[in-house]
Amino acid sequence: MKKIVYLFVALTAIVTAISSCSDSETYADQKKRERSAINKYITDNNIKVLTEAEFKAQNCTTDTSKHEYVYLDNSGVYMQIIRKGCGKKLQNNETATVLCRYKEYNMLTDSLQSTNMIGYYISVVDKMNVTNTSGTFTATFQKGESLMYSLYGSTSVPSGWLAPFTYINLGRQDSEDNEIAHVRIIVPHTQGHSYATSGVYPCLYDITYQRGY
């Protein structure tokens, strides 16, 4: 397990180094490059970007057949809700264990950077403790039970991962009729993990959220 984790860390470090700026590149240059990568993805995938007003007008849903994503002004995150999920939303002043399956793509290198959905890591379900405080969500990964923690060395959950909690339900897939929440999010470096923040690169995530025991 440790050898495989170290291999992933090494690969992540290489990808981050490739994504990082040269000595002559300014932060403004890096942000421009990030913006270009996001815009290219939106164009290449025929994504229709909704305003928050348009999103709310259609009951906070995105039509996947029309490739709709909503742009969240406060965070700069783009979100596509594939399934809102069964169960109910995380309630005010509630803390819950949330289980996540995810794929993480570096949008600068157009590559899969990490995932717990294939290969050896399919046995690892990332666990985090999420708290809703008057509509503000905070979360930490559980040590030893999270690939994201193993790779990036922090219990801090990327802020972008928390953006969907305002809109999705947290339930368990305990029957064929109960489908758990599923989203795609484009996360700018300001809302990402420490590697993305320091490297100034955006990530695309495909994530499912399920209420833990």
3-state secondary structure string, the chain?
Answer: CHHHHHHHHHHHHHHHHHHCCCCCCCHHHHHHHHHHHHHHHHHHCCCEEECHHHHHHCCCCCCHHHCEEEEECCCCEEEEEEECCCCECCCCCCEEEEEEEEEEEECCCCEEEEECCCHHHHHCCEEEEEEEECCEEEEEECCCCCHHHHHHCCCECCHHHHHHHHCCCECCCCCCCCCCEEEEEEECHHHCCHHHHHHCCCEEEEEEEEECC
The answer to whether residue 8 scores a pLDDT higher than 70 is no
Banded pLDDT at 9 (limits 50, 70, 90): very low
Give the least confident one: 6-10, 99-103, 169-173: 6-10
- pLDDT tier, 101 (very low <50, low <70, confident <90, very high otherwise): very high
pLDDT at 12: 52
Banded pLDDT at 44 (limits 50, 70, 90): very high
Mean pLDDT of 130-149: 97
* 39-53, 81-95, 124-138, 171-185: least confident range: 171-185
